[in-house]
Amino acid sequence: MTPVEFLEQKLAGMLETLIRRDGFRAPFFGVAVSANGSLLGIRYDAAQGLLGLSFTTLTEHVEQNAFHIPVTFVFVEPRSGKLTAFRIEAGDSEPREVRYVQ
């Protein structure tokens, strides 16, 4: 499995968690930021198919043609104010949820 395939697979699992466990409903937004400064911003909208989502890339900046580990993913549902974050570190087989104290 390539690094991109690994991240895509883990992202699918994160989205499933957001929808099934956290009750996220489209539209919502996600941002991925890697250790080398690469960044991806996405809007998720309701659609037919897997997980009922389509996506639009809003912004993308890739350093050195790669996303370096660790990568932090933050998802926000603006209507409800829900926020969930995950982080993938070297050696992780699954993303770990990140808890923020406000």
- 71-86 burial, b for 16+ CB within 10 Å, e for fewer? bbbbbbbeeeeeebbb
CA 95 to CA 89: how far, in whole Å? 8
What is the chain's pLDDT, residue by residue, as a tens digit (102 residues)?
A: 676 777 788 888 999 999 999 999 999 999 999 999 999 999 999 998 777 899 999 999 999 888 888 999 999 999 999 999 999 888 877 777 776 544
**Matching residue, tokens 């895509």:** 8
Q: What is the pLDDT of residue 99?
A: 62
Q: What is the pTM of this model?
A: 0.86
